[in-house]
Amino acid sequence: MHYRSCESDGREGISFVLYRIPNVEGLIAMFFSLLVFKIGLFTVKDSFFALMDLSPSKEIENNVKDITESIVGIEDFDDLKLGKSGPFIFDEVNVKIRKHVDVVRAHEISNNLSFAFFSSARRP
């Protein structure tokens, strides 16, 4: 019984030699190995930055600040932290509201802020 493997049986290499194109298999293998190496470097870089809790980008940080400032009821905010976990960006921010605001209204302000973040993230 004969089983065919998924590997090349060498005919491609012979055809390149017949057309006087030597060492093509080596060049193709080098191309794919460099591609895998590049992907590995980007993965290591992203993982390192995630472990160091670096902000994903200044543009996203400025966008979050603008959204937070635009919500009615928020007097001030501080301690903005952005992080990235895989394809997701998460944020933490301490917002300050007036003392006389009750818990129900404070919860509405918090929900408005969350909705504004989610709606801005879905925009292309």
- Give me the residue spans of the domains in the chain: 11-51, 58-122
More confident residue, 5 or 107: 107
Calculate the average pLDDT of the chain.
80
What would the pLDDT profile of 112-122 be if each residue is shown by its tens digit? 998 988 888 76
Per-residue model confidence (pLDDT) at position 18: 64
Quick one: what percent of the chain has pLDDT higher than 70? 80
Task: Average the pLDDT over 36-63 and give the result.
Answer: 85
More confident residue, 105 or 4: 105
Supply φ then ψ for residue 72, to 5 degrees.
-70, 130
CB count in 10 Å sphere of residue 84: 17
- Cα-based distances in Å from 104 to 42, 71, 109: 45, 16, 9
Name beta bridge partners: 96.
76
CB count in 10 Å sphere of residue 64: 22
What would the pLDDT profile of 6-33 be if each residue is shown by its tens digit? 555 555 555 666 666 667 777 888 899 9
The CATH superfamily assigned to 58-122 is Cation efflux protein, cytoplasmic domain (3.30.70.1350)
User: Tokens standing for 77?
Assistant: 């905010």
Task: Say if residue 55's pLDDT is above 80.
Answer: no
Task: Average the pLDDT over 100-117 and give the result.
Answer: 90
